[in-house]
Structure 1
Amino acid sequence: MTDTDEDGGPSRREFARYGGAVVAGGLLAGCTGGDDGSTATEPATETATASPTEGAEATTAAADGYAVSMAPVGEVSFESVPSDVSVYSLLYADMAVAYGAGDAVNSLGFDAAAGGNTLDAYYERLDGVSFDYGDLTQLNAGSGEIRVEKEVFYELDSDLHLMDPALLDSFKGWERSDVEEVAANVAPFLGNTYSRTHGQPPEGWRDEYEYYALWDISERVSRVFRASDVYGELAAVRDEMLDRIRSGLPPESERPSVAAVIFFDGTFYPSKINAPGFANAHVRPLGATDAFAGTDAGFGTTYDYETLLEVDPDVILHQFGIASYYDVASIRETIADDPVGGQLTAIETDRFYASGTPVQGPLMNLFQLEMTAKQLYPEQFGEWPEYEHGDPYPEIPEGERLFDRERVAEVVAGGE
């Protein structure tokens, strides 16, 4: 199948060659691997052949460009940096901004204003860093369920789909053949979603699927945009912050028990803070006691007030609480007004916090690590200030910051 525009001329996507196997099943045949289906949580030549990842090397040299590899797709080759990129998750939108390619993003999977507001909340504290989401296409057109139409990918006509093809295959109305068609006729896919919680992808993708840490994914995406140096600088900032945090942690016996939840319509939806996956990349490194360890907490589990009171964590982190979907201050009042909820230790001691977004990229992760360290260990790292729904990330006095904003802003600006 040739990659041409409707008039028969060569497509601008000749810059990218998809590295999947072109065999009986189509372009993606033989490359195998819903965790991020919503946020409450990618010239293609006829002769391209499969090229599996070997060892830890994520990028390989190509005769006329470069290549980046990530499960479940495998290797994708480029002749130049993609300039029109379709994105589903904030994870990859944040990475694009970090690597100087925010202007290339043409879509988000959900309401662009909601996701854009979340990014704005963090970028407000990085001079010169921003994300223009006003004209982005919303991929999910469903109401109450996820509905993504195949035609929208043809309309966007992107150079790259920076998203997990296994995620698309999990949506109603999609099959692997549809993913293969879009990859062949529009642009390749590159992305990994199920590393969020180490969830199980659709059956056809499981054999070769791999799970990556957040910063492993970030490193691979940085190579897509030829910004490995930016990745290195940002990773160094993170490493230095984690060294500082870990050196200041209290003994394990003095660390709080912590629960992560979402509260909706009188019900708690719990998750474990020390479970694997990049959803916990801002909590797990801090070494707190997981209040839900040994319980059934996880996807599909619900707790009422009485059940949560039996666990009674010292700290409760409400996910998606920073300029996102939940007004945590209002939720805290609702819980406090309940005769059982008001008995929760975290309510009585005012340690019920608006927490970060599990679908986080590298810039978000820096702020969310700092935020969580202050929420869990205020005596060691300074008090977390009051936060009102919709506000930017709070202004932290310079002497109480756990990473250098100016350094990060300069690194990102240098990658543009």
Structure 2
Amino acid sequence: MNNDTETTEAPTRRDYVKYGGAVIGGSLLAGCASNSDSEGTPTPSETGTDTATASQTATEDDYSVRMAPMGEVEFSNVPEDVFTILGHHVDMLLALGRGDDINAMHGPGYHQALYEKLVAHFDGVSVDWEGLYSSWPPTKEKLYELDSDIHIADPAKVTTGEGWDDSDVQEIAENVAPWFGNTLSGTNRTPPESWADRYEYYTLWEIFGKIAEVFQAQDRYEALASIHDSVLQTIEENLPLTYDRPSAALVLFSADEDSGWGYKLNYPGYYAAHTRPMGVEDALADAVGEGYGDDGRNITLDYELLLEADPDVLLVLGPMTESYNLDEIRQRLENDTAASELTAVQEGQVYAQGARRQGPILNLFQLEMTAKQLYPDQFGEWPGYVNGEPYPEISKDEQLFDRQRVADIINGEF
């Protein structure tokens, strides 16, 4: 990697992107570690002054995007080579037509298996992520080696990884490329102490809008957001009355034990962006009470606790990623003395879900599948998921969103 930008006669696209990011990211992170003022955070005017003074390579095409916890990040060109970690950011990049620009993600095989099942319904859209660097926790050496244009990852979250602190994050922002991401909004989780004063929480689609600005793809964001708004409106207008709604539980079972984890259906944050609009009764919340999911986190459960909750519908994470087999899960439940008594098991209402770390594409599919799984009379019967197969075919008149329209947006042909 060439760091001699001052002697370069004509700054390259990479220099433009990194220079703006290093100035903004560096000032914010320095404030994070400093005790020089009571807040530890530069004001917008201070940050802008630093940038105006330092940006000698600024052009008419400069633009900036603000999102917590980074603050204002400046760009002179649209990033092309993209590092990322978690699935919601990966999904957003794919939705913007940037899936092939990704050079890293956490669990590339996991995401490959899941998103292949979704994009099978989108003409001209595919994913090829196997073999990418699995990036949690990343190493500084690998980030230098990848030499990305941008790190679509939450720096506050990165500092919680083994071998990382605020100074390491600052070093990468200054020497490689800026950070731009927000992860703790998944459950509105409390940030590390040094980031608390500058952290803000966003919805999934608000984060997506910010990412779209970074890649100057606001038109794709607006088109997809319009589809999302339409899906939400359809769901809201057709929900049955509260007393006619089933109870439900969202769970992830251990692969080889009769235990697992339960997740809040109605908690703030993008993890529940597909279940919260359903207005369904959370059976686990009723069973566990106040101790359920403190700080938005999951709870550990066993079959006895699940039976105490006794949901009408059991939503099971994992099978669509090929990490778990839904038929085997159902068989284990049916063969267990306690679990076989579950209403959801006896009524055959144990359904596959995708993942909680969702971006716009997975969110659209999960809104549709969850609506059908919970309210078949209102939104049409869920056809069922077959292990290893793509997301099931649904007739056009029962789809909650137009597959071709989404494909056209991703492909930039709308």
Regarding TM over 0.5, the answer is yes
SS at match of 1:179: helix
1:148 alignment partner in structure 2: 138
Choose from 217, 234, 249 the match for 2:224. 234
Distance 1:415 1:206 in 2: 41
Q: 2:286 matched to 1:290?
A: no
2:53 alignment partner in structure 1: none
Instruction: Give the direction of change, closer, same or farther, for the CA distance of 1:292–1:62 in structure 2 (3 Å limit).
Output: farther
Is contact 2:89-2:152 (8 Å) kept? yes
Choose from 73, 77, 91 the match for 1:76. 73
Q: 2:193 matched to 1:192?
A: no
Structure 2 gap segments, 5+ residues each: 50-57
SS at match of 2:221: helix
Q: How does 1:16-415 map to 2 (within 5 A)?
A: 16=17, 17-18=20-21, 20=24, 22=26, 26=30, 50-51=47-48, 64-110=61-107, 112-140=108-136, 147-264=137-254, 265-294=257-286, 295=289, 296-298=291-293, 299=297, 301-414=299-412
SS at match of 2:262: strand
Give per-residue Cα distances to partners, 1:13-63, cap 9 Å, x unaligned: 322212536559648657989xxxxxxxxxxxxxx96259xxxxxxxx985
Between Structure 1 and Structure 2, the one with more helix by share is 2
Aligned length: 386
Is contact 2:26-2:170 (8 Å) kept? no
Cα distance, 1:120 vs structure 2: 1.1
Is contact 2:31-2:40 (8 Å) kept? no
Distance 1:311 1:351 in 2: 15
Is contact 1:163-1:191 (8 Å) kept? yes
Cα distance, 1:64 vs structure 2: 3.9
Instruction: Give the direction of change, closer, same or farther, for the CA distance of 1:119–1:380 in structure 2 (3 Å limit).
Output: same
Is contact 1:120-1:392 (8 Å) kept? yes
Amino acid at match of 2:280: A
Cα distance, 1:72 vs structure 2: 0.4
Structure 1 residue ranges (4+ consecutive) displaced by more than 6 angstroms after TM superposition: 30-33
Is contact 1:305-1:340 (8 Å) kept? yes
Give per-residue Cα distances to partners, 1:191-229, cap 9 Å, x unaligned: 000000111222211111001000000111111111111
Is contact 1:21-1:29 (8 Å) kept? no
Is contact 1:100-1:415 (8 Å) kept? no
Give per-residue Cα distances to partners, 1:112-148, cap 9 Å, x unaligned: 12211111111111111122213522223xxxxxx43
Is contact 1:86-1:108 (8 Å) kept? yes
Instruction: Give the direction of change, closer, same or farther, for the CA distance of 1:226–1:240 in structure 2 (3 Å limit).
Output: same
Give per-residue Cα distances to partners, 1:143-174, cap 9 Å, x unaligned: xxxx4321110010000000001111001111
| TM-score using structure 2 length | 0.87
SS at match of 1:292: helix
2:3 alignment partner in structure 1: 4
Is contact 1:139-1:152 (8 Å) kept? no
Amino acid at match of 2:24: G
Distance 1:138 1:191 in 2: 17
Is contact 2:5-2:15 (8 Å) kept? no
Amino acid at match of 2:198: E
Give per-residue Cα distances to partners, 1:288-316, cap 9 Å, x unaligned: 11212352332352122111111111111
Cα distance, 1:359 vs structure 2: 0.8
Q: Percent identity?
A: 43
SS at match of 2:319: coil
Is contact 2:63-2:75 (8 Å) kept? yes
Is contact 2:312-2:343 (8 Å) kept? yes
Is contact 2:82-2:103 (8 Å) kept? yes
2:52 alignment partner in structure 1: none
Distance 2:82 2:364 in 1: 24
Instruction: Give the direction of change, closer, same or farther, for the CA distance of 1:304–1:159 in structure 2 (3 Å limit).
Output: same
Cα distance, 1:325 vs structure 2: 2.3
Distance 2:160 2:413 in 1: 34
2:55 alignment partner in structure 1: none
Instruction: Give the direction of change, closer, same or farther, for the CA distance of 1:343–1:64 in structure 2 (3 Å limit).
Output: same
Distance 1:347 1:321 in 2: 17
SS at match of 2:179: coil
